[in-house]
Structure 1
């Protein structure tokens, strides 16, 4: 297995979960620079691919923390017609997240606003949200991409698939050397009993809010961002959840996958007389199985 992975600073990235306006709204805000830069390093992503994956990782981490059970899994998958081709992110109830881009090397000129053109890199496509809560069948909701900028696409998903009025903001700011300078976001959701007065106040607050990366660059923490979004309302911070990029792949898990393909396929690999290499999409780890390894697996069968 390849072990020369960059180190990710744990305990730096986190999510704040809070409620406001006497529980009429709930809000999640995150800072995710470490996980996004770690993903950039292991997947060798271009700046626009880093921005897209970073936004989806941030959203996935927050949506993972929304799950009731720690072992519940949520997968966000985008299949698109643009040169990025697609992205996949999976998170659990502890906000441990992993993800990858189909075409990590995609390069595009900046958009009209001079920003990284994530929308152009994705273009038209479909967003799928799959929730595995340990039931017989996972829940899946699907919507088409409305902008390809990811935050707007998730706002649309919440409204149409989950019937929850939400506001999603996500951002990744790159340094000149293409490392990640800032990353984070927030997800605001209205409870069904939210009053018109609260809705109007939120619309006004969000309307004058700078971008997430601007707020982070100004030194705002997730707690500060929540207070700015809910300005003029009472805020109750529920808890602080650490979040990081973590993959649970291992040689043992890969071995189980090899076992699942059956005796004939494994015998065919042995007959080829060459070791096989299995690559994990999520974290780019490489696992080598020698002929002896394959023979031992066959014996287990």
Structure 2
């Protein structure tokens, strides 16, 4: 199948390049960040490294929405939650969406599938989560973190519990791309399992401005994780959401994933360190929202959300 990547950022490049190089499928990239598009065109592709090594330029096709004339079978969307509405409006206005197309997204946080459903039939929406660390160090400059073959991801239908024909074909090509997809029957439980993980690792690494390997050095991390996970699981259980991992599996994953990506700064910190708004409202804030909607107050998640927003505000006093 042919793929179109909406959002040529860290994860968009990761999926697109791996599909293009490993699965040998056709991939087009759509982006609206002018420095990124023009840098790709200037250097003849995107500059790719893995764990800071073996940097090379990978030729890709990149377009602004208004100039795109292609017709992918599946769109892959990786935008920041705060940017998604405007991106989809611009893409729709450019006429690049078609009735026969499917769409896949494995963005951080929650809320994006509802936005995507304004433009695609629910039956054509494929949900995903990705335990894949990637850095965008500048326009057209990306670093794939972690050993080759260590990628982990899940896929689920937005509607239904079995993979549709297009979903199965996509997963087969994702396997060839070495993205290692696993199918889950319940998209909500799948997505919330990743949200609650990010609510610990992404948020705490951002608060203390540390890499994941530095974060896990503290012997109290498992207990901190347990407190945040217990709140999140209690809220989800009250909402009838059943996560695909147990509480203990989530706690254990904090240790294993942090060691596996020890030199990685999570995406929330990458945004924070560059003066951009973070996605904390779609992660810890979303968990707190679920709690309040079901008569349960997630006090630690609410406090963490306020802490990140306070840190965002305080950046103005630390500008050089």
Task: Place the TM-score, normalised by the shorter chain, in its bin.
Answer: under 0.3
TM-score by length of 2: 0.25
Determine which structure has the larger helix proportion and give its number. Answer: 2
Q: Which one has the largest radius of gyration?
A: 1
Q: Taking CA–CA contacts closer than 8 Å with sequence separation of 6 or more, which of the two structures ends up with the larger relative contact order?
A: 1
TM-score by length of 1: 0.26
